[in-house]
Amino acid sequence: MDAHACRLARLLAYLQGVAKKWKLYQRTRLSTKVESVTWSDDTQTYTIVTGDGEVWGPFKAVISAVGFLNTPLIPPFARGETVFEGDLCHTSTWRDELTLRGKKVGVLGTGSSAVQVVTEAEKQGESVKVFQIEPNWILPKDARDFTPSERRWNGFRPVYYFRRYRLYLNYDVRQWRASHARTGGWVNRKRQKRVEAFLDASMASRPDLKALLTPEFSVEARRTVVSDTYYPSLLSEKVTLVPHAVADVTASGVVDAMGVKHDLDMIVLATGFDAANFISTFTVRGENGADLREQWTDGAEALYGLMTPNFPNFFMMFGPNTSGLPLVTYYEAQAKFSAQPIKKIVKGRARQVSARRSMHDLYNRRLQARLAKTVWTEVPSDFHADSGKIISQWAFSPTAYLLGG
C-alpha cells in the first residue's frame, strides 16, 4: 500500500470508529434519497418522503446537513449517454475501477479538484490536456511531513491544543473584518503579492504559460486554489494547457471551442458543483405551504445560515453565507445552536421555533452591506446566486460568528 492509500485508509478507519462509537450506523439509513420535507400546520410536525416512495415521520424538527457542494455541474455535452468510447466521469463520482495509468487524459477545469487530478495524471498518464476557460490564482501549500520530533510533541496534549489554538487564531486574524477578501485589506494585499511571486517563480522559464495562467481578477475574488504541484505539472512535456473550453465530445475525444479536435482515452470533469442553489436536491414546504425554492428566488438567505422565516423547526448545517475557515468550527456552532431549541421541543417546553422576519431581514441587510465591500463582487463565481447576490461567503471572522456577529 502506497503512502496516499495508507493515509486514506487511516482516515476511513477514524471515521468508521467515530460512527461506531456514537452508534451512528444504527441511526443512519444509507443509499436513500430524500425527495421532500413537508410541514403540517395542523400537527406542527414534518414528514419526509424518500426516493422509494416511503413516508417517514412525523418529526418535530428536521436538520438539513446536505451542504451546498452536492450537485455536480455537468456540461451539456456530457449529460446522459455520450458517443465517447473511453472513460468519462466527474471528480465527485470517481469509480474505484478507473485508472489514469498509460492514458491520454483530458481534464476540464482548473479548480481545486482539477489540480489534484492533473498532478496524478502527469505522473501516471501517457499525456494530459488541461482545458481552461479562465485561470485561478494559486497559493503554495508548503506541504511537508512532520518531523519525528514534531510527531512526539504533537502527542503531548498541551502542545497539541496549543498548536490547534494557534491555527484557529491565524484563521481568525486573517478573516477579521474580511481582511483576506476586502478591497484594500492587509491580508488580501499580502496574498496578492504572494500568488504573483509564486506564479513568477514557477513560470520563469515559460512566459507563454505565465500569460495564460494570470487571472484578470483579484486574489480571493474566486475560490483560490492551494497547490505545490500544479505549476510543476504544467511544465512537464506530457502536459498541454488548452486555453479554451470544450464544446463537444466525439467517439475518440473532444472538440474545443476553437473547433480543434483532441484525441483522448479518458475525460475527467473537474467542473465543480451547482453551489448557487442551497438545498437543491429535495423540496421543502413550510407554513401555509410555503416553498423554500420559491422563497429563495433572489438567492438563499437565512439567519446565521441556520433558519429562515416560514419554516419552523427546520435547521440548516453549512447554510447560506456560512462558508468560512475553519469550517468545522462553524459546523460545531451550528450543531450546538440547533440542539438547544430541539431539546426544548422534545421535552415539550416549546412546540415550534422560527426565525423572526424582522431579525432575519436586518441581519441579512447588514451582512450583504459588508459583502459588498469585498473582492467577491468583482466577477461572477459560484459565490453568487443568479441574481448576483453573494450567498455562500461569511463576511466576518469565525469568532464573530460564534459570538453572533
pLDDT at 8: 82
Enumerate residues 6+ apart whose C-beta is below 8 A from 132. Answer: 109, 110, 212, 241, 242, 243, 244
| C-alpha cell, 397 | 471572522
Confidence of residue 4 (pLDDT cuts 50, 70, 90): low
- What number is the average pLDDT over the span 148-169? 93
pLDDT at 6: 81
Confidence of residue 1 (pLDDT cuts 50, 70, 90): low
Question: How many angstroms separate the CA atoms of 262 and 273, rounded?
Answer: 25
Catalogue the long-range contacts made by 342-348 (C-beta closer than 8 Å, 24 or more residues apart): 342/60, 342/61, 342/313, 342/315, 345/60, 345/61, 345/313, 346/60
pLDDT at 52: 93
- What number is the average pLDDT over the span 319-335? 93
pLDDT at 43: 95
List of domains in the chain: 1-26 (no CATH), 31-71+276-402 (3.50.50.60), 72-136+223-272 (3.50.50.60), 145-221 (no CATH)
Does an H or E element contain 370, and which? helix 357-371
Question: Is the per-residue pLDDT at 99 higher than 90?
Answer: yes
- What number is the average pLDDT over the span 134-152? 93
Question: How many angstroms separate the CA atoms of 59 and 270, rounded?
Answer: 38
Question: Mean pLDDT score of the chain, rounded to an integer?
Answer: 94
- pTM of the shown model: 0.90
Name the residue with higher pLDDT: 141 or 6.
Answer: 141
Question: How many angstroms separate the CA atoms of 225 and 119, rounded?
Answer: 14
Half-sphere exposure of 72 (CA within 13 A, CB side): 17
- What number is the average pLDDT over the span 193-206? 97
Question: Is the per-residue pLDDT at 69 higher than 90?
Answer: no
| CB neighbour burial string for 248-280, b if at least 16 within 10 angstroms, e if fewer | bbbeebbebeeeeebebbbbbbbbbbbbbbbbb
Question: Is the per-residue pLDDT at 35 higher than 70?
Answer: yes
Q: Which is nearest to 324 in space by CA: 270, 392, 374?
A: 392
Confidence of residue 57 (pLDDT cuts 50, 70, 90): confident
Question: How many angstroms separate the CA atoms of 10 and 15, rounded?
Answer: 9
| C-alpha cell, 318 | 453549512
Question: How many angstroms separate the CA atoms of 392 and 270, rounded?
Answer: 20
pLDDT at 70: 84
CB contact at 8 A, 50 and 38: no
| C-alpha cell, 242 | 488548452
Residue spans of alpha helices (H) in 133-276: 148-154, 157-174, 186-202, 207-212, 230-234
| C-alpha cell, 333 | 456552532
Residue pLDDT, tens place only, 252-311? 999 999 999 999 999 999 999 988 889 989 999 999 999 999 999 999 999 999 999 999
Q: What's the DSSP call for residue 386?
A: T
Letter for the amino acid at 198? F
* Share above pLDDT 90 across residues of the chain, in percent, rounded to a whole number: 87
Question: Is the per-residue pLDDT at 184 higher than 90?
Answer: no
pLDDT at 177: 85
Catalogue the long-range contacts made by 186-192 (C-beta closer than 8 Å, 24 or more residues apart): 188/218, 188/219, 188/220, 188/375, 191/139, 191/219, 191/220, 191/224, 192/218, 192/219
Enumerate residues 6+ apart whose C-beta is below 8 A from 208. Answer: none
In 10 A of CB 38, how many CB atoms? Answer: 17
**Bond before 58 cis per omega within 30 degrees:** yes
Does an H or E element contain 88, and which? strand 87-90
- What number is the average pLDDT over the span 193-217? 97
